[in-house]
Amino acid sequence: MVGHFTLPVSSWFADYYDPMQERINELRGRYKDNATALRVVDSAQLDVSGFKKYSREVGYEFFVARKE
């Protein structure tokens, strides 16, 4: 292993979860009458909600490795 680092929570919100939430909101309106599509949207919402709720306890760690 060459190294590792923790990605800041703010990066996940700004670059991933906030745009994802916007898209979820858009899709809810577009597929409001499609129960199957809404189940998929609900699944994505669980990811966003879970990270928001537990972002002080969980995070994302990146590892850099080199093959020898």
Q: Over the chain (68 residues), what is each successive 10-residue block's mean pLDDT?
A: 93 93 98 98 96 90 93
pLDDT of residue 59: 86
Q: Where are the alpha helices (DSSP H) in the chain?
A: 9-12, 18-30, 35-54
- Angle 57-54-44 (CA atoms, 0-180°, nearest 5)? 135
The predicted pLDDT at position 39 comes to: 98
Give the model's pLDDT for residue 44. Answer: 97
Answer for the pair 6, 40: CB distance below 8 angstroms, yes or no: no
Paired strand residues for 39: none
48: Cβ–Cβ under 8 A, 6 or more apart, which residues? 17, 20, 21, 24
Tokens (6 digits) for 17: 């979860």
